[in-house]
A and B are shown apart, each in its own frame.
Chain A
Amino acid sequence: MNILKAKFKIHGGVHPKYRKELARNEETKRLPLPKILRISTTQHLGAPSKPVVKKGDYVKKYQLLAEAAGFISAPVHSPAAGTIKDIVAGTGATGTPISEIILETNTTSDEDLVGVFPTNDWNTLSPETILNRVREAGVVGAGGAGFPTYVKLSPPPGKEIQTLIINGAECEPYLTADYRLMMEHPKCLVEGIQIICKVLNVQDAHIAIEDNKPEAIELLSKYIKDNGIENIKIATLPTFYPQGAEKQQIFAVTGKQVPSGGLPSEVGVLVENTGTTVAIYNAVVKDLPFIERTTTVSGYGIENPSNVIAPLGTPYQDLIDFCGGAKDGVKKIISGGPMMGFAQATTETTTTKTTSGLLLLTAKEISQYESAPCISCGRCIAACPMNLMPAELSQFCEAEDFESAAANRVMDCMECGCCAFSCPAHRPLVQHFRTAKAFLRAQPKK
Chain B
Amino acid sequence: MIETVLAITCIGFGCSFALAIAAKFFEVKENPKIGEVNNLLPGANCGACGYAGCMDYAKAVVNDDAELNLCAPGGSDVTASLCEYLGKTAEAAEKQVAIVLCMGTDDVAKRRFEYNGIADCRSAQLVGGGDKACTYGCLGYGTCASVCPTNAIEMINGVAKVHPELCIACGKCISVCPRNLIKLVPAKSTVHILCSSKDKGPIVRKVCTSGCIGCTMCVRLTKEEESISMDGFLAKIDYTKEVQNKAIVEKCPPKCIIDTSNN
Contact = CB atoms under 8 A, between A and B. Distances in A.
Given A343-B113, A345-B112, A345-B113, A431 B118 contact: yes
Contacts of A96: 129
Contact of A91 (B116, B123, B127, B129): B129
B126 A434 contact: yes
Between A343, A345, A368, A439, the greatest number of chain B beta carbons within 10 A of the residue's beta carbon is seen for: A345
Contacts of B130: 95
Nearest to B119: A371
Contact of B123 (A97, A342, A368, A431): A431
Contact of A94 (B117, B122, B123, B129): B129
A54 B113 CA distance: 33
A97 B135 contact: yes
A367 B224 CA distance: 59
Contacts of B113: 343, 345
Contacts of B131: 345
Contacts of B122: 435, 438-439
A54 B130 CA distance: 31
B202 interface: no
B87 interface: no
A431 B118 CA distance: 7
A432 interface: yes
Given A95-B129, A342-B128, A343-B113, A435 B135 contact: no
A369 interface: yes
B119 to A, nearest CB: 9
B120 interface: yes
Contact of B126 (A368, A369, A431): A431
Contacts of A186: none
A428 interface: yes
Contact of A432 (B112, B116, B123, B135): B123
Interface in B111-144: 112-113, 116-118, 120, 122-123, 126-131, 135
A434 B123 contact: yes
**Range of interface residues on B (Cβ < 8 Å):** 10 to 19
Interface in A418-446: 428, 431-432, 434-435, 438-439
Interface in A79-100: 91, 94-97
A345 B117 contact: no
Contacts of B135: 91, 97
Nearest to A437: B126
Interface string B85-114: 000000000000000000000000000110
Interface in A11-42: none
A431 B112 contact: no
Interface in B139-174: none
A435 B118 contact: yes
Contacts of A343: 113, 127-128
A94 B127 CA distance: 8
Contact of A435 (B112, B116, B126, B128): B126
B196 to A, nearest CB: 15
Interface in A305-364: 342-346
Contacts of A91: 129, 135
B118 A432 contact: yes
A431 B117 CA distance: 8
Nearest to A370: B116
A438 B126 contact: yes
B129 A435 contact: no
Contacts of A95: 127-130
Between B118, B122, B130, the greatest number of chain A beta carbons within 10 A of the residue's beta carbon is seen for: B118
Interface of B: 112-113, 116-118, 120, 122-123, 126-131, 135
The 6 closest A-B pairs by CB, nearest first: A95-B129, A95-B128, A345-B113, A345-B112, A435-B123, A428-B117
Given A343-B113, A428-B118, A431-B117, 14 more contacts: A91-B129, A91-B135, A94-B129, A95-B128, A97-B129, A343-B128, A345-B113, A368-B116, A371-B118, A431-B118, A434-B123, A435-B120, A435-B122, A435-B126
